[in-house]
Amino acid sequence: MKILRKYRFTKLEKDDGLGNFLAKASSGTFLLMTFSSGVGYISSIFLAKILGVESFGTYSYLLTLLSLVQIPTEFGLPTLAPREVSVYESQQNWKYLRGFIIWSHIHILIASVLVGLLFFYFSYRISPEWLISLDNKNLIIIIACLPPLAVSNLGSAILRGRNKILESQLPITFIKPVLLLTLLILAYWWLGDQFGLLHVLCSFLFATYISFLCNLFLVFFNLPQDLRRFSPKYKVKKWLRFATPMVLATIMFVINNQMDTVMLGALSNSAEIGVYSISGKLSGLITFVLVAVNMSIGPTFARLHASGEQQSLQRLFTKSNRIIFCVSLLIGTFIIMCGPWIFLILGDSYAIGNSTLIILSMTNIVNSFFGSVGLLLIMTGYQDWVATSLIVSSIVNFGLNISMIPIYGSLGAAVATLSSTLVWNLILGCIAYWKLRIVSSPLARGSGSYR
């Protein structure tokens, strides 16, 4: 059965052509993301309208803090897991596969508890006023979400390593947002005017734990049957050595993405965060195609590079890049055109958000122009260069944020994000050509044949 599945996958690549391969590999993920993200955007607009700009800004700020605290908790293991799981399974090295799964789960579970407690303790010791402004109960709920979120991300990565792409996305991108929206509507219907931020966070906590249990079930259900017959073996030093550059890249990527929100909280106010957050969520629709393609195309990058098929690698990258950019450009144009009507629905408090939305939409269009260049470098062993480029981009982002946010607020943060994203992609594009002779542009001429 395994040989048959491998044969079908290879035959799909050879016979159907690159376009069909990309479409079939990414379409399921794209449809799932489209539906679940649509539900997520409905939830965001609902909360932005019901909570008001101040409380919605606080909610967005708490979720940003949660994503930052997840970085040391996960230690790059969700990035490492697909590669290790795929390699061990292809070698039928069941002892080390079982050892990696057990060790990584225990590591993340313990780390999430320790990091959560340390974060709360040092927050109180360093700035009790800041902690009080967020409300202790709110922060405790967010910290309680840390273990299930971190373990769920690892489980999804393990499923991706086994080519279970849809199963890996189902709990996080479908079950959780649908359940959260249902809980929010029921809570608002039941509580009416008493509905507030605390009820939103409790709903988020409940949805997180339900999706976590679903994720555990899917991971256990999709493990190879032979795995349970073998005693686990461990290569902890090797796994930590490989995870270190990946966690550095993850740290810089998340910091670069979330720096604007964090600095808005430090240099501006919750209202600006609320405006910036809703603009970011709307412009995030543009990244759907990029994320969907990245979910499916990474292992193919690694395989073509390992086998020395340079022309096929360029052709694969160019074809995927054209699909990503063309669709993203259409979505971005539509969002920019609909922006004024969306903010009109949200109310006067969000009226200043349209300019921010335009700039953030341009940011994601620029990102889509360069395609999956970051993923390409990681899958071909150049993750150190990706981390270095992110450091440079973060410095640019920090400098622009600290100089522009006090004057222009959320609009200044959006300009900083656009500038740093352009710098990052230009550096990655240069590295891809220098190290791989790959042109990271939809205008590139893909040569060779995909075989």
Residue with more model confidence, 134 or 295: 295
Rounded (to 5) percent helix, strand, coil in the chain: 90, 0, 10
Percent of the chain, pLDDT > 90?
Answer: 17
Euclidean distance between CA atoms 328 and 313, whole angstroms:
22
pLDDT on residue 56: 79
Domain ranges of the chain: 39-234, 245-443
The burial of 328, by beta-carbon neighbours within 10 Å (0-12 exposed, 13-18 middle, 19 or more buried), is given as: buried
In this prediction, residues 78-84 reach a mean pLDDT of: 79
Is the pLDDT reported for residue 449 higher than 70?
no
Predicted structure pTM score = 0.68
Is the pLDDT reported for residue 305 higher than 50?
yes
pLDDT tier for residue 5 given thresholds of 50, 70 and 90:
very low
pLDDT on residue 339: 80
pLDDT tier for residue 286 given thresholds of 50, 70 and 90:
confident
pLDDT tier for residue 349 given thresholds of 50, 70 and 90:
low
Is the pLDDT reported for residue 232 higher than 90?
no
Residue with more model confidence, 71 or 145: 145
Residue with more model confidence, 231 or 122: 231
pLDDT on residue 28: 63
The one-letter code for the residue type at 208 is T
Euclidean distance between CA atoms 430 and 433, whole angstroms:
5
182: three-class secondary structure by DSSP: helix
pLDDT digits (tens, 9 = 90+) for 16-41: 455 555 555 556 666 777 777 778 77
Euclidean distance between CA atoms 65 and 262, whole angstroms:
8
Angle at 394 between CA 392 and CA 398, to 5 degrees: 125
Is the pLDDT reported for residue 60 higher than 50?
yes
For the chain, what is the mean pLDDT? 80
Is the pLDDT reported for residue 256 higher than 80?
no
Name the region of 234 (left: φ>0; alpha: ψ -120 to 50; beta: rest). beta
pLDDT on residue 450: 40
